[in-house]
Amino acid sequence: MRADGRRKLTMDDIKAAADRLKNWGRWGADDEIGTLNHTRPADVAAAARCVRSGRVHSLALPFDRSGPQGGKTNYPALGRFNPVHVMLRTGTDAYAGRLDHRKIRASDDMVIMPMQCGTQWDALAHVFYENSMWNGYDCRNVTSNGAAKCGIEKTREKMVGRGVLLDIGRLVGLASLPDGFAIGRDLLDRAESHFGVKVGRGDYLLVRTGHMERKLADGNWDGYSGGDAPGLAFDTLDWMQEKQIAAIATDTWGVEVRPCETDAVNQPLHWIAIPMMGLTLGEIFYLAELATECAADHRYDFMFVAPALPVTGAVGSPVNPLAIR
């Protein structure tokens, strides 16, 4: 039994969900983008019509050494680190007269970053179910040389559509949902009716828990990356399948509730969402300002544009998602 009185998931539950929600072949045997197919050009055109004031909100955390990696949790570290940004030429070089042989004074720089160090998309090559990934591709397609199938570059002309925010923190009346709080499908339904918005086919669903804001207020990321968190319950997989959303993103590290709803596996929602459903997950999205705006004018949909960086063979991508209202 879980702390909230619900029974824990078993391996059988997970297997049943894998069978029930499996979308392999749904968009052809050679598909590599899964539910992103739910958004059609006409949906993009409709999304553009959501733009009224023209205000743009970035949903990205800054990419720098103050980022969410490196905090302590109760779980083994994954080895991700915050971006290391280094300069290749500087204004101080210019000032010191050391660039003038080029006849132009210009700075230059580079970055070293895990693809999933901050605000980020998971590619469908990110999680495997047994020896398979999305659409039944063999997991051996992802070698040290990168992902030969389902790499993030396959999404380069996706990640555009109607965005819908379901602000569960606000719905429940808490600045932040507590760690371990499981957002069930019932709560998603209630949020739709409370906020007067319907999630539809091809939408990009953003779910706010307040978790990130809690950590930002603390000035300390301990417990955030890979730690306990509020998040989606396993039963929302069916809801998302029915709704035919394009993708889901949250203000947490890993979309789903932690501690996990089961001891059988780690991150059960990931087991099903990515390799079986082909559902793209977005994580570490900064939703605070957008939520405030939406609450102010009671409008919870907008145009959403969040293009992944098409790094060939990458299994994730940092992103600066924009909500355009």
Task: Specify the residue, 168 or 319, whose C-beta has the smaller distance to a second copy.
Answer: 319
Nearer to a second copy, 176 or 317 (CB): 317
Structure tokens at 202: 């091809």
Alpha carbons 324 and 50: distance in angstroms, whole number: 8
H/E segment holding residue 58 = strand 56-58
Q: Does 141 bind a second copy (CB under 8 A)?
A: yes
Q: Which of 10, 19, 26, 107 binds a second copy (CB under 8 A)?
A: 107
Rule CB under 8 A: is residue 113 a binding residue for a second copy? yes
Give the binding range for a second copy (CB under 8 A) out of 21-29, 142-150, 178-186, 239-247.
Answer: 142-150
Q: Which of 14, 17, 115, 273 binds a second copy (CB under 8 A)?
A: 115
- Running DSSP on this structure, what letter comes out for residue 217? H
| Contact window for a second copy (CB under 8 A) among 29-37, 156-164, 178-186, 215-223 | 156-164
Q: Which is nearer to a second copy, 30 or 130 (CB)?
A: 130
- HSE (side-chain half, CA atoms, 13 Å) at 80: 21
* 146 near a second copy (CB under 8 A): yes
State which of positions 71-100 bind a second copy (CB under 8 A): 76, 78-81, 83-98
CB 324 within 8 A of CB 56: yes
Contact 3, 223 (CB under 8 A): no
Does position 52 bind a second copy by CB under 8 A?
yes
Residues 224-243 that bind a second copy (CB under 8 A): none
Residues paired with 282 in a beta bridge = 121, 249
The answer to whether residues 62 and 79 touch, using CB atoms and an 8 Å cutoff, is: no
Only one of the segments 27-35, 37-45, 177-185, 237-245 lies at the binding site for a second copy (rule: CB under 8 A); that segment is: 37-45
* DSSP designation for 276: I
Residue type at position 58: S
Q: For 239, phi and psi rounded to 5 degrees? A: -60, -45
CB-side neighbour CA atoms (13 Å) of 144: 0
Task: Give the total of residues touching a second copy (CB under 8 A).
Answer: 110
Asked if 11 interacts with a second copy (CB under 8 A), we say no
Among 1, 3, 110, 296, indicate the residue that binds a second copy (CB under 8 A): 110
The footprint of a second copy on residues 265-324 (CB under 8 A) is: 265-267, 270-271, 303, 305-316, 318-322, 324
- Does residue 193 touch a second copy according to CB under 8 A? no
Smallest distance, a second copy to C-beta of residue 202, A:
10
Tracing tokens 């905090």 back to the chain, one arrives at 71
CB of 205 vs a second copy, minimal distance in Å: 19
Specify burial of residue 88 (Cβ count, 10 A radius: 0-12, 13-18, 19+): exposed
Q: Which is nearer to a second copy, 140 or 186 (CB)?
A: 140
- Residue from the set 57, 185, 208, 214 that interacts with a second copy by CB under 8 A: 57
Whole-angstrom distance, CA of residue 99 vs CA of residue 324: 41
Q: Which stretch binds a second copy (CB under 8 A): 62-70, 193-201, 211-219, 238-246?
A: 62-70
**278, 275, 310: which is closest to 138 by C-alpha?**
275
Which residue lies nearer to a second copy by CB, 22 or 158?
Answer: 158
Using DSSP, state whether 204 is helix, strand or coil. strand
